[in-house]
Structure 1
């Protein structure tokens, strides 16, 4: 898999080997009990332990089988980590050498599992690009400026149940529309902040003066005429970069038609993930907590 592409869709046989694991939407589970989210920020010293913890979480809140889910999570984590390590090794992210760089760059992770019931919240797409998730300790354009080597940091994602993420095919029109929309949010937020100091509001769209719904709807209308969405099936693993000027424009799918289980993971050094956890005010784990 080309590690330089902003978006990659993995073939079925990358994670479902010779039919040992079937299509996730027909084998792993078919129903979610309630809204729930699992997050793990921490050292990845055991893919199996993290896979089992995530599988137990999903099985507890669905009609899925923990054993089958555990096998799938193991394959997913192994695929994502191997691909991420290959990118680190090929691009020599750090001066210690490619093998050591790969180990360092995938020593920790953020794994999230979002289980949802039907909602109308995303009938209108929430198109966006993912910004930087953490302060990089490697050379990359998201922190070091346009003259630095372009090192793509990425998320790996899959829908175990329900529709997949909506992703726009890249084009100059898409880039122009999302750039203008982001600028509109910044201008509105800056104008609001000039009027008053808003304590405790960290994000522009929480400011009452920023009409998020209007900006979101305007962008959705513009992108509807800008080209095609990338085609892939629910259950296929995708990789998309974050923090880059060409990172894919994407949105949650329309969730009004049924339950969904969405999984994503990103990797980094222990220092990078500790910093990310600290910024988000969540716990960083030295090992996977044992499910109670």
Structure 2
């Protein structure tokens, strides 16, 4: 497992837990954090034993967005991270899930601030759980900036356009209850329990057939902008092969025998 001084990596069974760990700055994005994040996504993609990923933040916050000083490498020994960024100028966009989509489901566990770049990363996750006091928002326009992490494209595709435009154009904060009401997050739980709730969801995902789970996720995203007829054709192409897998046969046997299935990615 990887990790950096601002990104913790650990395993919980078949779940990879990535923790943004810069609580003194409400987990604002830094070079070490971005490099660690991208390495975490790559680890999840490469390791078949990992069936899901949970993304969370340390110290009661999720992510307060970009830290421009830290991204410039000031105030820390960051040469190795600057070298990584120089070698791959797209690395920060991949880390923020703008230019990379992990093949495993990614579940966000949000406590506290999830604003600006935090809300942009959130849009790259698949399932989202928030504590009651979590706060969301895209504040860029208030500072004369542009939310270039993908929000003008993704947000109107994930929530109703009128809500997306209100969030983008007013720069106001949103409570967890408001975020759930407009569909930005899926569920709201008591403060301090978002990670536990996300891990419980991950366990449910992990108990399912991994080939089926990954194919379903891929189908949802690859058909999102297709016409219905093209999307249905793509779904068949993606889905039919799953029925021929040993895992599919195991699932049917386990159901008939009233026992948990043992999937082997075969």
Q: Which TM-score applies when normalising by structure 1? A: 0.25
Greater relative contact order, per chain length (Cα 8 Å cut-off, separation 6+): 1
Q: Which TM-score applies when normalising by structure 2? A: 0.27
